[in-house]
Amino acid sequence: MRVLGLDPGLRATGWGVIEAGAGRLRHLACGVVASPPDAPLARRLDALFEGLLTVIARYAPDQAAVEETVVNRNAASSLKLGQARGVVLLAAARAGLEVGEYASRTVKRAVTGTGSASKEQVAAMVRALLPGAVEAAADAMDALAVAICHAHVAQTRARLARANPPVPAGAA
């Protein structure tokens, strides 16, 4: 399974692509899609959208995973972040990808074992799990953490489905 992890942001949206399967994770690529800081909001959102479509076309992920928005004290900043997140979700949906959404604490717990881990702890674990991501930008590291979380959740769901197959209708 190829997973695209996304960490939405208006200035920079982090992305990371991993391969997950047979209990293994492999880093394929990661980076940041930036928007022009002095451009009007609509142009910035368009730059994020087009950049993400390019990433999706290049790496052909099977699924996507997005970190949920953390509401800040500054309402205007939260609103802009929400708009960027909407563009991220739209790009994944436009590409026909199934999208998993995860709270920050869930991502941290999946990667480090604790939901209160620092960004530095998360980055250190991402580097340990994905050695090819050593020099990635902070936003890309966050996106890779989201992809790892999604891979763990998807693999767990698959194991549970195999262990508990659905009972056919009429069989009792």
Active-site residues, by number, are 7, 67, 139
Domain assignment present for 123:
yes
In terms of phi and psi (left: phi > 0; alpha: psi -120 to 50; beta: otherwise), the region of 96 is left
Backbone angles phi, psi at 16, to 5 degrees: -150, 140
Per-residue model confidence (pLDDT) at position 61: 98
Distance CA 2, CA 13 (A): 19
Residue 172 lies in a domain: no
Rounded Cα gap, residues 150 and 61, in angstroms = 13
Q: What is the pLDDT of residue 99?
A: 97
Q: Tokens for 156, please give them.
A: 């767990």
User: Would you say residue 171 lies in a domain?
Assistant: no
pLDDT of residue 57: 98
Residue 23 lies in a domain: yes
Has residue 155 been placed in a domain? Answer: yes
**Number of domains within the chain:** 1
- Report pLDDT for 165: 78
Contact present, 140 and 14 (Cβ < 8 Å): yes
pLDDT-flagged residues of the chain (< 50): none
pLDDT at 171: 65
Contacts of residues 43-49 at CB distance under 8 Å and 24 or more positions apart, as own/partner, are: 44/10, 45/10, 45/83, 45/84, 45/87, 48/10, 48/13, 48/84, 48/87, 48/88, 48/91, 49/87, 49/90, 49/91
Q: 47: which residues sit within 8 A by CB, 6+ positions away?
A: 33, 34, 35, 36, 39
d(CA 122, CA 125): 5
Q: For residue 168, tell me if it sits in a domain.
A: no
* pTM to 2 decimal places: 0.91
Structure tokens at 159: 């194991």
Q: Which pLDDT does position 149 carry in this prediction?
A: 97
Domain range for 120: 2-163
Cα 166 to Cα 155: distance, rounded to the nearest angstrom? 18
Q: Identify whether 62 is part of a domain.
A: yes
Is 48 inside any structural domain? Answer: yes
Q: Are 144 and 16 in contact (CB under 8 A)?
A: yes
SS3 of 19, please? Answer: strand
Q: At 135, which CATH number? A: 3.30.420.10
Cα radius of gyration rounded to whole Å, the chain: 17
